[in-house]
Amino acid sequence: MIYLDNAATSFPKPKEVYEAVDKCLREYGANPGRSGHKLALKAGRIIYETRELICQLFNIDNPMQIIFTYNATDSLNLAIKGILSKGDHVITSGMEHNSVIRPIKALEEIGVENTIVECDDEGIIKVDKLKSAIKKNTKLIAITHASNVTGSLMPIEKISKIAKENSILLLVDAAQTAGVYNIDVKKMNIDLLAFPGHKGLMGPQGTGALYIREGIKLRHMKEGGTGSKSESLLQPEIIPDRYESGTPNTPGIAGLGAGIKYILNIGIDNIRKHEEELTEYMINGLEKINEVIIYGPKDIKRKASVISINIGDLDSSEVSYILDQAFNIAVRSGLHCAPLAHKTLGTFEQGTIRFSIGYFNTKQDIDRALEAIKKICEEME
């Protein structure tokens, strides 16, 4: 199996990740932050260590500002609903995943306004349009770092400058970039950073996190046992407990920590370089196939390692089915949970076939994928 569906979940993981999960389950599978015995303390320690590793990766000072969640969707819901109240206005882009757009649309019901800013043909936000969308009551800009459909990288630093000038909070969805692109929350002026653990960060599914800049207080989405202030019937104020109720996914977080250690060890620039090279190599190959339409930027400096294509007017699901069945190549087809992006690209009906490259892919994988696409094109004739 050639796995080119890393934008959904990275696979495989470094073996250290499997080992960390297994070790946690077998050797110290107790409840962190509740009891005070040795196993519970060890479980609590691995969670704290993972917080520290995340801080190291994103240049965050205080590990307690990292909130562990179920997945990036959970993080995004907490951020969006934790910030916005009736009468507020939020700006987002026309390339967002449903994990950003659906919570924003749901908030219309309680009187939160939104503006969806147009993107260009390559799926990159029009910064002037963003500027002119700002209103007196704009409280938040919520935007993806890179599109999960085309990989189009958004100009986060330009956007954060505008946000700061207008005292608007900036929430970045790093689902496609965390672990591959350099994200420095200070330099990039990011107030809230949402990310999954199971994609670029190489951790297991069931992990995600939200970074909240110090001084920003969100509404909590859930209340429950926190192992702290047990005497109170109200959710505690202290962070991260305020936002983390119930038993966390300790083995998952242990695995996530191992994934991040692996990344820090290889060096994020080396990971990106490898993915960029393969992405460029694939785009070059695709450009030579007449029937292939490539969506989004072709310049590797303007996109992450996600390539969306169509083959003529073939149904994208059919092509992905053939790739799987006849060529043993795993990709994703359809709308990729991002309908707006497909309206931007003009692929709302056809969907796209998405090849998403990970650190463990090789040039041979790309060659095999290109050959398969060529064969499908030949069959078409």
Q: Does 257 bind a second copy (CB under 8 A)?
A: no
> Of the two residues 250 and 361, which places its CB atom closer to a second copy in the complex?
250
| Contacting residue, 44, 123, 248, 259, with a second copy by CB under 8 A | 248
Rounded Cα distance, 224 and 90, in Å: 29
89 by DSSP, 3-state: which? strand
Q: Establish whether 24 is a catalytic residue.
A: no
CB of 31 to a second copy, least distance (A): 4
CB of 29 to a second copy, least distance (A): 5
Rounded Cα distance, 116 and 92, in Å: 5
| Contacting residue, 92, 98, 138, 347, with a second copy by CB under 8 A | 98
Q: What stretches of 176-307 show up as alpha helix (H) in DSSP?
A: 250-266, 268-287
| Contacting residue, 167, 230, 290, 364, with a second copy by CB under 8 A | 230
Question: Residue 202 corresponds to which amino acid?
Answer: M
Residues 338-377 that bind a second copy (CB under 8 A): 338-340, 348
> Of the two residues 145 and 336, which places its CB atom closer to a second copy in the complex?
336
CB of 238 to a second copy, least distance (A): 14
Rounded Cα distance, 188 and 207, in Å: 24
CB of 186 to a second copy, least distance (A): 28
Rounded Cα distance, 141 and 291, in Å: 38
Q: Does 97 bind a second copy (CB under 8 A)?
A: yes
Angle between helices 250-266 and 15-27 (to 10 degrees): 150
Rounded Cα distance, 350 and 337, in Å: 14
Q: Does 239 bind a second copy (CB under 8 A)?
A: no
Residues 150-209 that bind a second copy (CB under 8 A): 196, 198, 204-208
Binding segment for a second copy among 83-91, 257-265, 328-336, 372-380 (CB under 8 A)? 328-336
Contact between residue 88 and residue 167 where contact means Cβ atoms under 8 Å apart = no
Rounded Cα distance, 96 and 152, in Å: 11
Binding segment for a second copy among 134-142, 185-193, 335-343, 365-373 (CB under 8 A)? 335-343
> Of the two residues 305 and 333, which places its CB atom closer to a second copy in the complex?
333
Binding mask 1-30 for a second copy (x = CB under 8 A): x-x-x--xx-xxx---xx--xx--xx--xx
Rounded Cα distance, 146 and 154, in Å: 6
116 by DSSP, 3-state: which? strand
Q: Does 86 bind a second copy (CB under 8 A)?
A: no
> Of the two residues 189 and 235, which places its CB atom closer to a second copy in the complex?
235
Q: Does 213 bind a second copy (CB under 8 A)?
A: no
Contact between residue 133 and residue 105 where contact means Cβ atoms under 8 Å apart = no
174 by DSSP, 3-state: which? coil
Question: Residue 32 corresponds to which amino acid?
Answer: P
Angle between helices 363-380 and 268-287 (to 10 degrees): 20
Q: What stretches of 33-134 show up as alpha helix (H) in DSSP?
A: 38-58, 72-83, 98-107, 127-133
Contact between residue 337 and residue 176 where contact means Cβ atoms under 8 Å apart = no
Residue of 24, 55, 119, 337 marked catalytic: 337
Binding segment for a second copy among 33-41, 120-128, 276-284, 370-378 (CB under 8 A)? 33-41
Q: Does 42 bind a second copy (CB under 8 A)?
A: no
| Contacting residue, 72, 91, 282, 373, with a second copy by CB under 8 A | 72
Q: Does 215 bind a second copy (CB under 8 A)?
A: no
| Contacting residue, 92, 152, 249, 305, with a second copy by CB under 8 A | 249
Number of Cβ within 10 Å of residue 88's Cβ equals 18
Q: Does 308 bind a second copy (CB under 8 A)?
A: no
Looking at the annotation, which residues are catalytic?
337
